[in-house]
Amino acid sequence: MKFVDEVKITVKAGNGGSGSASFRREKYVAYGGPDGGDGGFGGHVILQGDQGLNTLVDFRHKRRFDAQNGESGKGRQMYGKGGDDLIIKVPTGTEVYDLETDLKLGDITTHGQQLVIAEGGKGGLGNMHFKSSVNRAPRQFTQGEQGQLREIKLELKVLADVGLLGFPNAGKSTFVNAISKARPKIADYPFTTLYPALGVVPIDAETSFVVADIPGIIEGAAEGAGLGIQFLKHLQRTGLLLHMIELPAYEGMSSPVEQFHQLSEELVKFSDQLQEKTRWLVFTKADVTTPDEARALAKDYAAEMGWDGPVYLISSINKSGLQALIKDIANYLSSEPEDWH
């Protein structure tokens, strides 16, 4: 399925029904008087979170959504039926913006959460409301109000506890494959990950956390280079970033230290919020050399980077270092307040 994380749609709430100008007419009842009922309310347009959805691709095929109009009032003081609300299901993690004002209307973060984005019009008044001592047979009634018409932008930011950050081929997808049941594409060439992938990592029968893998970031990403820039926003909701760097420096590639500083600069350019998130340094592909040499390299690189935070050394192929990292992630997430989103 094609991954779509931003769309623009038009929504129109239902119009209110018109009031009725009617008079009671029954045999043997003289001077029945006005009995026109009110019009019904127009239906609202409502967004509803659905955790079973993970993309906005359905909105590529339909861009206009209209709720039902209210019915007009009738005689005998009969009110018109209200229009049905239109409920549109969106993935959890969807932010909603009004394109005309650029205001954020809301954020759908939980399954079943609802957000009214266009309100239906009120129904008009029937002529029974205009009766008075000096106007015993009013013919006045009012039209129903128009429902709101809005241009809306939907922007999906995936909900995950841990975000993976790194250059192409840093071993992010292999890591997700090793610790969860997710099966992202893995290959020995760059940009095998073309859209965000989520993996659920079980800790015990009742505890788990979600990892988000995004396309690799390259130098100049904040200016639009590569694929990662359009997906960096998906890391803004995470509680923890794992900055993953290949331990070996292959011929023709920049050194791990250079990669670290390049990617750190891209984070600053993209978002201060992202730069300030808790970040752990994870050296991958430790299996390409001996354990002692791998530890020495990781220590030297971290010192050269000026890094004073947590450092991990893992191999997703032989599983070394994975359990310690998973345990520390679980402990960190359980100790932090759940207000990252």
216 labelled binding-site residue: yes
- Identify whether the C-beta of residue 326 lies closer than 8 Å to the C-beta of residue 209: no
Residue 166 annotated as part of some ligand binding site: yes
Q: Check the annotation: does 193 bind a ligand.
A: yes
Q: Is 284 annotated as a binding residue?
A: yes
Q: Is 315 annotated as a binding residue?
A: yes
Residue 205 in marked binding region: no
Q: Are 67 and 84 in contact (CB under 8 A)?
A: yes
* 10 assigned to a ligand binding site: no
Q: Is 285 annotated as a binding residue?
A: yes
74 annotated among ligand-binding-site residues? no
Is 226 marked as a binding-site residue? Answer: no
Q: Is 62 marked as binding a ligand?
A: no
Helices 256-270 and 291-305 pack at an angle, to 10 degrees, of 50
Q: Are strands 149-156 and 64-66 parallel, antiparallel or unpaired?
A: unpaired
- Whether 215 has a binding-site annotation, put simply, is yes
Is 171 annotated to bind a ligand? Reply is: yes
Q: Does 173 count as an annotated binding residue?
A: yes
Task: Show Cβ contacts of residue 242 under 8 Å, excluding neighbours closer than 6 positions.
Answer: 162, 163, 164, 165, 279, 280, 282
Q: Is 58 annotated as a binding residue?
A: no
For residue 286, say whether it is annotated as part of any ligand binding site. Answer: yes
The beta-carbon contacts of 171-174 under 8 Å, at least 24 apart in sequence, are 171/244, 171/246, 171/284, 171/285, 171/316, 172/213, 172/216, 172/244, 173/197, 173/213, 174/284, 174/316, 174/317
- 194 labelled binding-site residue: yes
The answer to whether 290 is annotated as binding is: no
The radius of gyration computed from the CA coordinates of the chain, to the nearest angstrom, equals 29
Q: Which residues contact 231 (CB under 8 A, 6 or more apart)?
A: 5, 195, 196, 214, 215
Is 229 marked as a binding-site residue?
Answer: no
Asked whether residue 37 is marked as a ligand-binding residue, the answer is no
Q: How far apart are CA 113 and CA 136, in angstroms?
A: 49
> Backbone phi, then psi, for 303, in 5-degree steps?
-65, -40
Query: Which residues line the annotated binding site for GTP?
Result: 166-173, 191-195, 213-216, 284-287, 315-317
Q: Which residue ranges are tagged as binding site for Mg(2+)?
A: 173, 193
Numbered residues of the known binding site: 166-173, 191-195, 213-216, 284-287, 315-317
